[in-house]
Structure 1
Protein backbone atom coordinates (compact mmCIF):
# COMPACT_ATOMS: atom_id res chain seq x y z
CA UNK A 1 0.00 0.00 0.00
CA UNK A 2 2.83 2.34 0.93
CA UNK A 3 4.60 1.62 -2.39
CA UNK A 4 1.37 2.38 -4.24
CA UNK A 5 1.04 5.72 -2.42
CA UNK A 6 4.64 6.64 -3.27
CA UNK A 7 4.01 5.78 -6.92
CA UNK A 8 0.95 8.04 -6.98
CA UNK A 9 2.92 10.92 -5.41
CA UNK A 10 5.73 10.46 -7.94
CA UNK A 11 3.26 10.45 -10.84
CA UNK A 12 1.61 13.63 -9.58
CA UNK A 13 4.98 15.34 -9.23
CA UNK A 14 5.92 14.34 -12.77
CA UNK A 15 2.64 15.58 -14.23
CA UNK A 16 3.06 18.91 -12.42
CA UNK A 17 6.55 19.33 -13.85
CA UNK A 18 5.30 18.58 -17.34
CA UNK A 19 2.35 20.98 -17.03
CA UNK A 20 4.59 23.96 -16.31
CA UNK A 21 8.27 24.41 -15.69
CA UNK A 22 8.70 25.23 -12.04
CA UNK A 23 11.11 27.68 -10.49
CA UNK A 24 12.03 28.44 -6.91
CA UNK A 25 9.19 30.95 -6.80
CA UNK A 26 6.56 29.10 -8.83
CA UNK A 27 5.62 28.47 -12.42
CA UNK A 28 7.51 29.50 -15.55
CA UNK A 29 5.59 30.28 -18.72
CA UNK A 30 8.30 29.59 -21.27
CA UNK A 31 5.81 27.77 -23.50
CA UNK A 32 3.62 30.87 -23.91
CA UNK A 33 5.65 32.58 -26.62
CA UNK A 34 4.29 30.84 -29.71
CA UNK A 35 2.60 32.53 -32.67
CA UNK A 36 -0.59 34.34 -31.71
CA UNK A 37 -3.48 35.66 -33.79
CA UNK A 38 -4.74 38.80 -32.08
CA UNK A 39 -7.29 41.29 -33.46
CA UNK A 40 -6.47 40.15 -36.98
CA UNK A 41 -2.71 40.47 -36.52
CA UNK A 42 -0.45 37.41 -36.62
CA UNK A 43 2.20 37.83 -33.96
CA UNK A 44 5.19 35.63 -34.80
CA UNK A 45 6.68 33.13 -32.41
CA UNK A 46 9.38 34.56 -30.20
CA UNK A 47 12.55 32.43 -30.23
CA UNK A 48 12.37 32.31 -26.46
CA UNK A 49 15.29 29.88 -26.29
CA UNK A 50 17.48 32.84 -27.27
CA UNK A 51 16.19 34.95 -24.37
CA UNK A 52 17.87 34.33 -20.97
CA UNK A 53 15.50 32.25 -18.84
CA UNK A 54 15.45 34.85 -16.06
CA UNK A 55 13.55 37.13 -18.45
CA UNK A 56 10.86 34.56 -19.23
CA UNK A 57 7.50 35.31 -17.65
CA UNK A 58 7.23 33.47 -14.34
CA UNK A 59 5.52 33.47 -10.98
CA UNK A 60 7.96 34.23 -8.19
CA UNK A 61 8.13 34.81 -4.46
CA UNK A 62 8.00 38.57 -3.94
CA UNK A 63 7.40 40.31 -0.62
CA UNK A 64 5.78 43.70 -1.01
CA UNK A 65 3.63 45.96 1.14
CA UNK A 66 1.92 47.19 -2.01
CA UNK A 67 -1.60 45.95 -2.68
CA UNK A 68 -2.35 43.33 -5.36
CA UNK A 69 -2.52 44.82 -8.82
CA UNK A 70 0.41 47.18 -8.23
CA UNK A 71 3.19 47.15 -10.82
CA UNK A 72 6.79 47.53 -9.64
CA UNK A 73 9.53 48.13 -12.21
CA UNK A 74 13.09 47.18 -11.25
CA UNK A 75 15.06 49.06 -13.90
CA UNK A 76 18.45 47.89 -12.62
CA UNK A 77 17.67 44.19 -12.95
CA UNK A 78 15.30 44.62 -15.93
CA UNK A 79 12.27 43.06 -14.25
CA UNK A 80 8.65 44.14 -13.97
CA UNK A 81 6.58 42.68 -11.14
CA UNK A 82 2.80 42.45 -11.10
CA UNK A 83 1.96 42.06 -7.40
CA UNK A 84 -0.46 39.22 -6.72
CA UNK A 85 -0.40 39.38 -2.92
CA UNK A 86 0.43 36.69 -0.36
CA UNK A 87 4.12 37.07 -1.17
CA UNK A 88 3.71 36.29 -4.87
CA UNK A 89 4.13 38.19 -8.13
CA UNK A 90 4.25 37.61 -11.86
CA UNK A 91 7.67 38.70 -13.13
CA UNK A 92 8.38 39.81 -16.69
CA UNK A 93 11.65 40.61 -18.43
CA UNK A 94 11.79 44.18 -19.73
CA UNK A 95 13.82 46.69 -21.69
CA UNK A 96 14.38 50.11 -20.11
CA UNK A 97 15.60 53.61 -20.89
CA UNK A 98 19.12 53.98 -22.21
CA UNK A 99 21.71 56.24 -20.59
CA UNK A 100 20.32 59.74 -20.27
CA UNK A 101 16.71 58.55 -20.47
CA UNK A 102 16.43 56.77 -17.12
CA UNK A 103 13.79 57.85 -14.65
CA UNK A 104 12.14 56.71 -11.46
CA UNK A 105 9.02 57.62 -9.54
CA UNK A 106 5.38 56.73 -9.02
CA UNK A 107 2.66 56.89 -11.64
CA UNK A 108 -0.61 55.19 -12.52
CA UNK A 109 -2.11 53.62 -15.61
CA UNK A 110 -4.55 56.18 -17.02
CA UNK A 111 -5.26 54.64 -20.43
CA UNK A 112 -5.01 51.15 -21.92
CA UNK A 113 -4.97 50.58 -25.67
CA UNK A 114 -4.84 47.49 -27.86
CA UNK A 115 -2.75 47.82 -31.01
CA UNK A 116 -2.06 51.51 -30.36
CA UNK A 117 -1.01 54.22 -32.76
CA UNK A 118 2.52 55.46 -32.10
CA UNK A 119 3.24 59.18 -32.29
CA UNK A 120 6.89 60.10 -31.70
CA UNK A 121 7.36 63.10 -29.36
CA UNK A 122 8.66 66.32 -30.91
CA UNK A 123 11.94 65.93 -29.00
CA UNK A 124 12.45 62.51 -30.58
CA UNK A 125 11.77 63.90 -34.04
CA UNK A 126 14.41 66.57 -33.42
CA UNK A 127 16.92 63.84 -32.56
CA UNK A 128 15.79 61.62 -35.42
CA UNK A 129 14.41 63.80 -38.27
CA UNK A 130 13.58 60.68 -40.30
CA UNK A 131 10.67 60.12 -37.91
CA UNK A 132 8.94 63.32 -39.02
CA UNK A 133 6.79 61.26 -41.41
CA UNK A 134 5.12 59.76 -38.33
CA UNK A 135 4.34 63.12 -36.68
CA UNK A 136 0.66 62.43 -37.32
CA UNK A 137 0.94 58.92 -35.91
CA UNK A 138 2.13 55.53 -37.12
CA UNK A 139 -0.65 53.04 -37.78
CA UNK A 140 -0.91 49.95 -35.57
CA UNK A 141 0.85 46.85 -36.84
CA UNK A 142 3.63 44.35 -36.38
CA UNK A 143 6.34 46.99 -36.94
CA UNK A 144 4.79 49.60 -34.66
CA UNK A 145 7.22 50.36 -31.78
CA UNK A 146 4.40 50.13 -29.20
CA UNK A 147 3.61 46.58 -30.20
CA UNK A 148 0.35 44.85 -29.38
CA UNK A 149 -0.59 46.80 -26.25
CA UNK A 150 0.25 50.04 -24.49
CA UNK A 151 -0.53 51.33 -21.00
CA UNK A 152 -0.12 55.09 -20.64
CA UNK A 153 1.49 56.42 -17.47
CA UNK A 154 0.22 59.59 -15.82
CA UNK A 155 1.10 61.37 -12.57
CA UNK A 156 -0.28 64.48 -10.88
CA UNK A 157 1.08 66.56 -13.75
CA UNK A 158 -0.73 64.51 -16.39
CA UNK A 159 0.70 62.38 -19.19
CA UNK A 160 4.33 61.60 -18.43
CA UNK A 161 5.01 60.52 -21.99
CA UNK A 162 6.09 57.09 -20.76
CA UNK A 163 4.36 53.81 -21.58
CA UNK A 164 4.39 50.18 -20.59
CA UNK A 165 4.22 48.64 -24.03
CA UNK A 166 4.96 45.71 -26.27
CA UNK A 167 7.78 45.58 -28.74
CA UNK A 168 8.61 43.57 -31.85
CA UNK A 169 12.26 43.76 -30.74
CA UNK A 170 12.31 40.76 -28.41
CA UNK A 171 16.12 40.87 -28.36
CA UNK A 172 16.02 44.24 -26.56
CA UNK A 173 14.66 42.61 -23.41
CA UNK A 174 17.20 42.80 -20.59
CA UNK A 175 18.83 45.86 -22.15
CA UNK A 176 18.73 49.64 -21.79
CA UNK A 177 17.73 50.84 -25.26
CA UNK A 178 14.49 52.84 -25.04
CA UNK A 179 13.76 56.56 -24.64
CA UNK A 180 12.38 55.92 -21.16
CA UNK A 181 9.43 53.65 -21.87
CA UNK A 182 9.26 50.17 -20.36
CA UNK A 183 9.04 47.58 -23.11
CA UNK A 184 7.99 43.93 -22.93
CA UNK A 185 7.80 41.10 -25.42
CA UNK A 186 4.43 41.25 -27.21
CA UNK A 187 3.17 37.99 -25.72
CA UNK A 188 4.08 39.31 -22.27
CA UNK A 189 2.46 42.72 -22.69
CA UNK A 190 -0.79 41.03 -23.71
CA UNK A 191 -0.65 38.98 -20.50
CA UNK A 192 0.13 42.05 -18.36
CA UNK A 193 -2.57 44.09 -20.11
CA UNK A 194 -5.15 41.47 -19.19
CA UNK A 195 -4.09 41.59 -15.53
CA UNK A 196 -3.53 45.33 -15.00
CA UNK A 197 -6.42 47.73 -14.45
CA UNK A 198 -6.81 51.39 -15.28
CA UNK A 199 -5.80 53.28 -12.16
CA UNK A 200 -3.19 50.72 -11.14
CA UNK A 201 -0.21 52.14 -9.27
CA UNK A 202 3.12 51.86 -11.06
CA UNK A 203 6.37 52.26 -9.11
CA UNK A 204 9.59 52.64 -11.10
CA UNK A 205 12.67 52.00 -8.96
Structure 2
Protein backbone atom coordinates (compact mmCIF):
# COMPACT_ATOMS: atom_id res chain seq x y z
CA UNK A 1 0.00 0.00 0.00
CA UNK A 2 2.76 2.46 0.90
CA UNK A 3 4.63 2.18 -2.40
CA UNK A 4 1.41 2.72 -4.34
CA UNK A 5 0.06 5.62 -2.28
CA UNK A 6 -0.03 8.91 -4.27
CA UNK A 7 1.44 10.92 -1.36
CA UNK A 8 4.59 8.77 -1.09
CA UNK A 9 7.45 10.49 -2.94
CA UNK A 10 10.21 7.92 -2.43
CA UNK A 11 10.74 4.45 -0.97
CA UNK A 12 13.91 3.11 0.63
CA UNK A 13 13.86 -0.61 1.41
CA UNK A 14 16.35 -3.02 3.00
CA UNK A 15 15.53 -6.71 2.82
CA UNK A 16 15.35 -9.73 0.56
CA UNK A 17 15.86 -9.72 -3.21
CA UNK A 18 12.39 -11.19 -3.77
CA UNK A 19 10.65 -8.48 -1.74
CA UNK A 20 12.73 -5.78 -3.42
CA UNK A 21 11.73 -7.04 -6.86
CA UNK A 22 8.09 -7.05 -5.82
CA UNK A 23 8.35 -3.45 -4.55
CA UNK A 24 10.07 -2.37 -7.76
CA UNK A 25 7.14 -3.68 -9.81
CA UNK A 26 4.61 -1.92 -7.59
CA UNK A 27 6.44 1.38 -7.08
CA UNK A 28 6.02 2.29 -10.75
CA UNK A 29 7.10 5.92 -11.18
CA UNK A 30 8.42 6.91 -7.74
CA UNK A 31 12.14 6.76 -6.86
CA UNK A 32 13.06 3.50 -5.16
CA UNK A 33 16.28 2.79 -3.28
CA UNK A 34 16.94 -0.89 -2.59
CA UNK A 35 19.56 -2.61 -0.43
CA UNK A 36 19.00 -6.31 -0.99
CA UNK A 37 21.62 -8.29 0.90
CA UNK A 38 25.22 -9.16 0.25
CA UNK A 39 27.78 -11.89 -0.18
CA UNK A 40 30.86 -9.73 0.31
CA UNK A 41 34.15 -11.26 -0.78
CA UNK A 42 37.45 -10.93 1.06
CA UNK A 43 40.30 -11.42 -1.41
CA UNK A 44 43.56 -12.47 0.23
CA UNK A 45 46.51 -12.00 -2.12
CA UNK A 46 49.66 -14.07 -1.72
CA UNK A 47 51.66 -11.25 -0.13
CA UNK A 48 49.06 -10.38 2.52
CA UNK A 49 49.95 -10.09 6.21
CA UNK A 50 48.13 -13.27 7.19
CA UNK A 51 47.88 -12.58 10.92
CA UNK A 52 46.32 -9.14 10.42
CA UNK A 53 44.19 -10.44 7.55
CA UNK A 54 42.80 -13.33 9.59
CA UNK A 55 41.93 -10.96 12.42
CA UNK A 56 40.10 -8.57 10.09
CA UNK A 57 38.23 -11.34 8.30
CA UNK A 58 37.06 -12.93 11.54
CA UNK A 59 35.84 -9.52 12.69
CA UNK A 60 34.14 -8.87 9.37
CA UNK A 61 32.48 -12.27 9.22
CA UNK A 62 31.30 -12.65 12.78
CA UNK A 63 30.72 -9.08 14.04
CA UNK A 64 27.05 -8.43 14.74
CA UNK A 65 26.70 -12.24 14.80
CA UNK A 66 26.87 -12.27 11.01
CA UNK A 67 23.56 -10.40 10.83
CA UNK A 68 24.55 -7.51 8.59
CA UNK A 69 24.48 -7.25 4.84
CA UNK A 70 28.08 -6.05 4.70
CA UNK A 71 29.51 -9.00 6.64
CA UNK A 72 32.36 -10.93 5.00
CA UNK A 73 29.54 -13.41 5.44
CA UNK A 74 29.99 -15.86 17.82
CA UNK A 75 26.81 -17.42 18.43
CA UNK A 76 23.88 -16.21 16.42
CA UNK A 77 20.30 -15.78 17.54
CA UNK A 78 18.05 -16.34 14.49
CA UNK A 79 14.66 -17.92 13.84
CA UNK A 80 14.43 -21.70 13.57
CA UNK A 81 14.13 -21.85 9.78
CA UNK A 82 17.13 -19.52 9.27
CA UNK A 83 19.24 -21.46 11.75
CA UNK A 84 18.26 -24.74 10.14
CA UNK A 85 19.00 -23.35 6.66
CA UNK A 86 22.50 -22.19 7.64
CA UNK A 87 23.35 -25.61 9.08
CA UNK A 88 21.87 -27.40 6.06
CA UNK A 89 24.00 -25.33 3.66
CA UNK A 90 27.07 -26.19 5.72
CA UNK A 91 26.22 -29.90 5.73
CA UNK A 92 25.55 -29.87 1.97
CA UNK A 93 28.94 -28.27 1.32
CA UNK A 94 30.70 -30.86 3.49
CA UNK A 95 28.84 -33.64 1.67
CA UNK A 96 30.26 -32.27 -1.61
CA UNK A 97 33.84 -32.26 -0.30
CA UNK A 98 34.30 -29.05 1.69
CA UNK A 99 36.08 -29.36 5.04
CA UNK A 100 34.41 -28.16 8.22
CA UNK A 101 37.08 -26.32 10.24
CA UNK A 102 34.91 -24.91 13.01
CA UNK A 103 31.27 -24.94 14.09
CA UNK A 104 28.56 -26.29 11.83
CA UNK A 105 26.19 -26.84 14.73
CA UNK A 106 23.22 -25.16 16.29
CA UNK A 107 21.43 -25.34 19.59
CA UNK A 108 17.82 -24.28 19.16
CA UNK A 109 17.99 -21.01 17.24
CA UNK A 110 21.67 -20.39 18.03
CA UNK A 111 24.17 -21.13 15.26
CA UNK A 112 27.82 -21.58 16.24
CA UNK A 113 30.45 -19.57 14.33
CA UNK A 114 31.25 -21.75 11.34
CA UNK A 115 34.29 -21.86 9.06
CA UNK A 116 34.27 -24.10 5.96
CA UNK A 117 37.39 -24.62 3.83
CA UNK A 118 37.76 -26.00 0.29
CA UNK A 119 34.39 -24.62 -0.81
CA UNK A 120 33.90 -24.79 -4.59
CA UNK A 121 31.72 -22.66 -6.90
CA UNK A 122 29.19 -25.49 -7.35
CA UNK A 123 28.18 -25.30 -3.66
CA UNK A 124 25.24 -23.14 -2.55
CA UNK A 125 27.25 -21.76 0.37
CA UNK A 126 29.50 -20.02 -2.18
CA UNK A 127 26.61 -17.86 -3.42
CA UNK A 128 23.65 -17.89 -1.00
CA UNK A 129 23.65 -15.40 1.88
CA UNK A 130 22.96 -17.44 5.04
CA UNK A 131 22.65 -14.31 7.22
CA UNK A 132 24.45 -16.29 9.87
CA UNK A 133 28.05 -16.57 11.12
CA UNK A 134 29.01 -19.02 8.36
CA UNK A 135 32.20 -18.21 6.44
CA UNK A 136 33.22 -20.25 3.36
CA UNK A 137 36.78 -20.23 2.01
CA UNK A 138 37.15 -20.69 -1.75
CA UNK A 139 40.72 -21.36 -2.83
CA UNK A 140 41.77 -19.65 -6.07
CA UNK A 141 44.88 -19.77 -8.27
CA UNK A 142 45.36 -16.02 -8.73
CA UNK A 143 43.82 -12.56 -8.37
CA UNK A 144 42.09 -12.83 -11.75
CA UNK A 145 40.19 -15.93 -10.66
CA UNK A 146 39.31 -14.23 -7.36
CA UNK A 147 37.87 -11.23 -9.22
CA UNK A 148 35.92 -13.46 -11.60
CA UNK A 149 34.33 -15.40 -8.74
CA UNK A 150 33.67 -12.27 -6.68
CA UNK A 151 31.88 -10.68 -9.64
CA UNK A 152 29.71 -13.75 -10.26
CA UNK A 153 27.68 -12.98 -7.15
CA UNK A 154 24.27 -11.38 -7.62
CA UNK A 155 25.20 -8.99 -4.81
CA UNK A 156 27.59 -6.07 -5.08
CA UNK A 157 27.78 -4.24 -1.78
CA UNK A 158 31.38 -4.41 -0.64
CA UNK A 159 34.60 -6.38 -0.99
CA UNK A 160 37.90 -6.45 0.87
CA UNK A 161 41.37 -6.92 -0.55
CA UNK A 162 44.38 -7.86 1.54
CA UNK A 163 47.86 -7.16 0.12
CA UNK A 164 51.09 -5.41 1.07
CA UNK A 165 51.19 -3.84 -2.42
CA UNK A 166 48.71 -0.95 -2.57
CA UNK A 167 49.06 -0.61 -6.35
CA UNK A 168 48.11 -4.26 -6.91
CA UNK A 169 45.25 -3.94 -4.42
CA UNK A 170 43.94 -0.84 -6.20
CA UNK A 171 44.16 -2.60 -9.57
CA UNK A 172 42.18 -5.58 -8.22
CA UNK A 173 39.68 -3.27 -6.55
CA UNK A 174 38.94 -1.44 -9.80
CA UNK A 175 38.00 -4.75 -11.42
CA UNK A 176 35.37 -5.59 -8.78
CA UNK A 177 31.68 -4.89 -9.43
CA UNK A 178 30.89 -3.64 -5.92
CA UNK A 179 29.93 -0.37 -4.31
CA UNK A 180 32.82 -0.14 -1.84
CA UNK A 181 36.25 -1.79 -1.66
CA UNK A 182 38.20 -1.96 1.59
CA UNK A 183 41.98 -2.39 1.39
CA UNK A 184 43.61 -4.21 4.29
CA UNK A 185 40.47 -3.83 6.34
CA UNK A 186 37.25 -5.73 6.67
CA UNK A 187 33.99 -4.91 4.97
CA UNK A 188 32.13 -2.67 7.35
CA UNK A 189 29.14 -0.55 8.16
CA UNK A 190 29.71 3.11 7.35
CA UNK A 191 30.30 4.14 10.96
CA UNK A 192 32.97 1.44 11.34
CA UNK A 193 34.98 2.34 8.25
CA UNK A 194 38.50 3.52 8.84
CA UNK A 195 40.74 5.48 6.45
CA UNK A 196 43.36 3.58 4.46
CA UNK A 197 46.70 3.59 6.26
CA UNK A 198 49.18 3.58 3.38
CA UNK A 199 52.01 2.61 5.72
CA UNK A 200 50.39 -0.78 6.40
CA UNK A 201 50.39 -1.69 2.70
CA UNK A 202 53.93 -0.66 1.80
TM > 0.5 fold call: no
Higher Rg: 1
Higher helix share: 2
TM value normalised by structure 2: 0.22
